[in-house]
């Protein structure tokens, strides 16, 4: 792998390669947005893509048929609209069939309930796109009104579509069904839990038991996940979860991985009780020969490591011992989606714990697990960058500087883009190891990453370069960095305000210029910049400038320094005057 290359998802073009994490996120999102735009065009205008040029024709590669083909009021037309996920059209057609006295089969009605419960009685994405298109094309409405209406509809959809409305279409259709089976009840329960109506879901479950129907494993999983919203006390939550587990045993429903993950997710919200019960849940999984997924370990680590409560529990070591032997695939919605996105990946969670525990050996083991097989695919770009950022900070804190620099050269920018904190950690590691000669290359990386205008990094960089003298070659490189920093302070544009000098930063720049004999640049900084911000040079800056004037045999510069010190009323003015008379051969006029 080329350590200087960007991620494979980006174009192999210098202009299109991201410079930092913000650019990488923007470019990756824009690429995905382009794919979504292409899909939208194909779905909205399928008539332009109906010609088949491929021989042989491959149906799965052709655009889907998204417009209903069966007309009239019939059960077949209803099935077609349900298949096309047209929620509003399906409900309207069902109502027409009921009003006409046409019986609808139980299987079709259950399919309609599945659709309604999945979307929460809202609209599918396709229907929302069509309505937005109609709103944009509405005549007589100006652009500002359209934008305001669009914002209101978006806020309304976010607040209403995600909630279960009272007496919605799903409940209405469920009540008018002439007969209901277990599938009908299970669908309603899972829909209510999905859309935040946990209390209604529990009542529906009680009605289901009274009707002597049996729930399936997916329904029990949803009910167990809803336990924290049904009970407030930790012990009551655990007792209710045990009731559902006992019902599963009585109804001979075999638990699966999602059952135990839902139970562990509930135990995360049971306080200290979760620690004592979670291990028994893991043992029960082992007894049933059910292998944990990434979400299982994430829940377990979250139960034992809460915030700053980093006890000496060895659970993280046991988890790592287990995951080192395996390569994972997605099995739970919390594991990830489409093999590359995960909301709660245990690797990221564990990585934070390794940093907090300051255990470099544990971090190396974790990194080896992350790179095994396709495990890395569970981290999207943001989470991957966050993971490597944590890992690199730990390296800077705990490892030898040669190892740190080796990792830094191999990881940036091919694997991750350093954050400002990473650069600060690297500078501190270089300081601790007395490897300050690397700072100029770090400064070049800072410019590439867009960190050249961050005052905290600039102050640290200048402070390290000016703290003590170095060989001439290094001092020249430091002076070049100082010149770049001085130039960045002078830049300003429409979208960025000019950087403000601080007294310490000006002092560091003057020192760096003086040490390489650049008296004119040092004097400009002392005379012009210090006066602009109403600051006074320190004695160290004065002495370094005097030493520079002596080295270059410029008595005029020394005299100007004495006059400046006298004009500012500095105590060092008399001392500088005496040194000038003693160390320089002055003419009568200069005296």
pLDDT score, position 148: 46
pLDDT score, position 63: 66
Q: Which pTM value belongs to this model?
A: 0.75
User: Which contacts qualify for 553-560: CB closer than 8 Å, 24 or more apart?
Assistant: 554/519, 555/580, 555/584, 555/585, 555/586, 555/590, 556/590, 557/519, 557/523, 558/584, 559/586, 559/590, 560/523
Is-contact 423 459, C-beta < 8 A? no
pLDDT score, position 283: 93
Instruction: Phi first, then psi: give them for residue 556, nearest 5 degrees.
Output: -60, -35
149-171 burial code (b ≥16 CB/10 A, e <16): eeeeeeeeeeeeeeebeeebbbb
Residue linked to tokens 């960025």? 496
Q: Which helix (H) or strand (E) holds 87?
A: helix 87-99
Determine the 3-state secondary structure of 341 from DSSP.
Answer: strand
Non-local (6+) Cβ contacts of 522 within 8 A are: 510, 513, 514, 545, 548
Task: Give pLDDT tens digits along the chain (591 positions).
Answer: 666 667 767 766 777 778 888 888 888 888 889 989 988 888 788 777 776 677 787 777 776 667 788 888 999 999 999 998 889 999 999 999 999 999 999 999 999 999 999 988 766 555 555 555 544 444 444 544 454 444 444 444 444 446 888 889 999 999 999 999 999 999 999 999 999 999 999 999 999 999 999 999 999 999 999 999 999 999 999 999 999 999 999 999 999 999 999 999 999 999 889 888 999 999 999 999 999 988 898 888 888 876 545 554 578 888 888 888 877 888 888 875 332 223 333 343 344 555 556 678 888 888 888 878 777 777 777 788 888 888 899 999 999 999 999 999 988 877 888 999 999 999 999 999 999 999 999 999 999 888 988 999 999 999 999 999 999 999 999 999 999 998 888 776 666 677 888 888 988 998 999 888 888 888 888 777 887 788 888 888 888 888 888 877 777 778 888 888 888 777 878 888 888 777 776 666 666
Q: How many CA atoms lie within 13 A of 36 on its CB side?
A: 9
Bond into 413 cis (ω within 30): yes
């Amino acid at each position: 792998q080329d350590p200087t290359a960007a991620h494979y998802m980006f174009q192999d073009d210098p202009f299109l390669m991201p410079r930092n994490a913000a650019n990488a996120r923007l470019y990756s999102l824009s690429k995905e947005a382009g794919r979504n735009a292409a899909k939208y065009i194909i779905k909205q205008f399928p008539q332009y893509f109906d010609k088949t040029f491929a021989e042989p024709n491959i149906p799965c590669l052709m655009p889907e048929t998204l417009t209903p083909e069966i007309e009239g009021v019939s059960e077949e037309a209803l099935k077609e609209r349900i298949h096309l996920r047209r929620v509003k059209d399906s409900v309207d057609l069902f109502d027409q069939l009921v009003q006409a006295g046409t019986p609808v089969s139980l299987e079709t009605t259950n399919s309609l309930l599945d659709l309604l419960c999945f979307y929460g009685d809202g609209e599918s994405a396709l229907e929302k796109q069509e309505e937005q298109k109609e709103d944009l094309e509405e005549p007589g409405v100006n652009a500002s009104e359209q934008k305001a209406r669009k914002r209101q509809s978006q806020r309304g959809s976010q607040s209403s579509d995600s909630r279960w409305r009272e007496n919605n279409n799903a409940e209405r259709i469920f009540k008018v069904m002439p007969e209901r089976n277990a599938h009908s009840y299970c669908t309603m329960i899972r829909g209510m839990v999905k859309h935040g109506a946990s209390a209604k879901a529990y009542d529906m479950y009680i009605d289901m038991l009274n009707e002597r129907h049996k729930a399936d494993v997916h329904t029990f999983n949803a009910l167990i996940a809803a336990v924290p919203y049904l009970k407030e006390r930790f012990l009551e939550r655990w007792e209710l979860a045990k009731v559902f587990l006992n019902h599963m045993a009585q109804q001979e429903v075999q638990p699966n991985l999602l059952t135990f993950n839902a139970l562990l997710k509930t135990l995360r919200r049971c306080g200290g009780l979760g620690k004592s019960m979670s291990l028994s849940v893991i043992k029960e999984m082992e007894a049933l020969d059910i292998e944990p997924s990434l979400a299982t370990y994430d829940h377990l680590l979250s139960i034992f490591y809460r915030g700053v409560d980093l006890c000496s529990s060895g659970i993280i070591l046991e988890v790592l011992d287990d995951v080192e032997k395996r390569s994972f695939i997605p099995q739970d919605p919390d594991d990830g989606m489409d093999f590359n996105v995960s909301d709660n990946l245990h690797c990221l969670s564990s990585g934070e714990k390794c940093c907090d525990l300051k255990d470099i050996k544990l971090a190396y083991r974790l990194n080896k697990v992350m790179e095994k097989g396709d495990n890395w695919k569970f981290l999207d770009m943001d989470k991957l960058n966050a993971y490597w950022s944590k890992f690199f900070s730990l390296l800077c804190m705990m490892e030898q500087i040669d190892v740190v620099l080796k990792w830094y050269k191999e990881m940036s920018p091919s694997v991750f883009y350093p954050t400002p904190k990473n650069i600060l950690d690297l500078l501190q590691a270089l300081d601790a190891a007395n490897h300050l000669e690397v700072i100029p290359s770090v400064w070049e990386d800072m410019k590439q990453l867009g960190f050249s205008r961050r005052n905290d990094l600039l102050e640290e960089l200048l402070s390290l370069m000016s703290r003590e003298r170095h060989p001439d070659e290094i001092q020249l490189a430091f002076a070049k960095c100082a010149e770049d920093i001085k130039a960045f302070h002078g830049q300003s544009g429409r979208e960025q305000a000019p950087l403000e000098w601080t007294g310490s930063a000006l002092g560091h720049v003057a020192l760096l210029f003086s040490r390489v004999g650049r008296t004119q640049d040092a004097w400009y900084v002392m005379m012009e910049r210090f006066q602009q911000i109403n600051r006074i040079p320190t004695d160290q800056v004065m002495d370094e400038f005097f030493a520079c004037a002596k080295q270059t045999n410029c008595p005029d510069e020394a005299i100007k320094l004495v006059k400046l010190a006298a004009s500012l009323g500095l105590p060092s003015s008399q001392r500088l005057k005496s040194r000038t008379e003693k160390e320089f051969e002055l003419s009568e006029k200069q005296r």
